[in-house]
Structure 1
Amino acid sequence: MRIISGLHKGKRLTAPRKLPVRPTTDMAKEALFNILNNRYYFDELIVLDLYAGTGNISYEFASRGTTQISAVDADYGCIRFINETSENLEMGISAFKSDVFGYLEKSREKSTIIFADPPYDLPLESFEKIPELVFENELLLDNGLLIIEHASQMDLSHINNFVENRKYGSSMFSFFENPDQD
């Protein structure tokens, strides 16, 4: 994986092979960050990266100037890799080993961007539970955005607060906003 833009532009990172991950492709990540770049100033964001895996998305935010990033994953190896990489690149990412649903149920930290990249083979009910918990617990700031990455065959448009989706290869990003947002 590589960091596409910002302070660490072009930096290649190699995660240990044994991690149970499927990193977001560079093409999809670049497209996503082009969308976000037109909407936000990265140095003003508070980011929550769920199912963070290798930390691919967190590193991209940090490289672009985001200083408040929390990464959550249930795998200790992933958390260790994120912590080591964050420290080596002086990114200041806070990584937490936790079940995502348990984290969302207990957390009261509000974020501008919540990015979730669950395993594609999770049942639809699990994908539906993410926005349910985010909005039920009011975890998005005003003008915030929940982005869920999933297989392009899955349709999340029936879920409350859905705004749009974008397809990139075999991946899809579904976007959700607070209901009173313009």
Structure 2
Amino acid sequence: MRIISGIHKGKRLTAPKKLPVRPTTDMAKEALFNILNNRYYFDELIVLDLFAGTGNISYEFASRGTEQISAVDADYGCIRFINETSAALEMGIAAYKSDVFGYLEKSKEKATIIFADPPYDIPLESFEKIPELVFKNDLLLENGLLIIEHASQMDLSHLDNFVEKRKYGGSIFSFFENPDPN
């Protein structure tokens, strides 16, 4: 995996092979960050990276100037890799070893961007639980986005607060926003 833009542009990172991950492809990541770049100033964001895996998405935000990043994953090896990489690149990513659903139940931490990239083989009900918990617990800041990456065979457009989806190869990003207060 490589960092696409920012102060670490072009930096290649190699995660240990034994980690249970499927990193977002560079093509999909580049497309996603082009969308976000047109909407946000990265240095003003608060980011929550769920099912963080290797930290691929967190590093991209940090390289582009985001300073408040929390990465959550249940795998200790993933958290260790994120901590080591974050320290080596002087990024300051806060990494938490936790079940994501338990974390969302208890967290009071609000974010501008919540990115979730669960394993594609978990049941649809688990995917549906992510936006349910985010909105029930009011974890998105005003003008924030919840982005869920999932397999192209899955459709989340029936869920509350869904606004759009974008397809990149075998992956889809589904976007959710807080309802307009007006």
Shorter-chain TM-score tier = over 0.9
Tell me, what secondary structure is at the counterpart of 2:155?
coil
List per-residue Cα deviations over 1:26-63 (Å, max 9, x = no partner): 00000000000000000000000000000000000000
Moved runs in structure 1, 4+ residues, more than 2 A? none
> Which residue of structure 2 aligns with residue 49 of structure 1?
49
Tell me, what secondary structure is at the counterpart of 2:7?
coil
Q: How far apart in 1 are the matches of 2:179 and 2:94?
A: 29
> Which residue of structure 2 aligns with residue 150 of structure 1?
150
> Which residue of structure 2 aligns with residue 99 of structure 1?
99
> Which residue of structure 2 aligns with residue 137 of structure 1?
137
> Which residue of structure 2 aligns with residue 115 of structure 1?
115
Q: How many residue pairs are counted as aligned between the two chains? A: 182
Q: How far apart in 1 are the matches of 2:73 and 2:54?
A: 9
> Which residue of structure 2 aligns with residue 70 of structure 1?
70
2:83 is the counterpart of 1:83: yes
Percent identical among aligned pairs is 88
Distance 1:164 1:84, change over 3 A: same
Q: How far apart in 2 are the matches of 1:149 and 1:161?
A: 16
Q: How far apart in 2 are the matches of 1:181 and 1:5?
A: 34
Instruction: Give, as a single letter, the amino acid of the residue that structure 1 aligns with 2:80.
Output: R
Root-mean-square deviation (CA), in Å?
0.8
Q: How far apart in 2 are the matches of 1:151 and 1:9?
A: 27
- C-alpha deviation, 1:142, in angstroms: 0.1
Instruction: Give, as a single letter, the amino acid of the residue that structure 2 aligns with 1:11.
Output: K
Tell me, what secondary structure is at the counterpart of 1:61?
helix
Q: How far apart in 2 are the matches of 1:90 and 1:19?
A: 22
> Which residue of structure 2 aligns with residue 10 of structure 1?
10
Instruction: Give, as a single letter, the amino acid of the residue that structure 2 aligns with 1:44.
Output: E
Tell me, what secondary structure is at the counterpart of 1:146?
strand
Unaligned runs of 5+ in 2: none
List per-residue Cα deviations over 1:134-169 (Å, max 9, x = no partner): 000000000000000000110000000000000000
TM-score with structure 1 setting the length: 0.99
- C-alpha deviation, 1:180, in angstroms: 1.5
Unaligned runs of 5+ in 1: none
List per-residue Cα deviations over 1:106-144 (Å, max 9, x = no partner): 000000000000000010000000000000000000000
> Which residue of structure 1 aligns with residue 127 of structure 2?
127
Tell me, what secondary structure is at the counterpart of 2:174?
strand
Tell me, what secondary structure is at the counterpart of 2:61?
helix
Instruction: Give, as a single letter, the amino acid of the residue that structure 2 aligns with 1:101.
Output: F
TM-score with structure 2 setting the length: 0.99
Tell me, what secondary structure is at the counterpart of 2:142?
strand
- C-alpha deviation, 1:181, in angstroms: 6.0
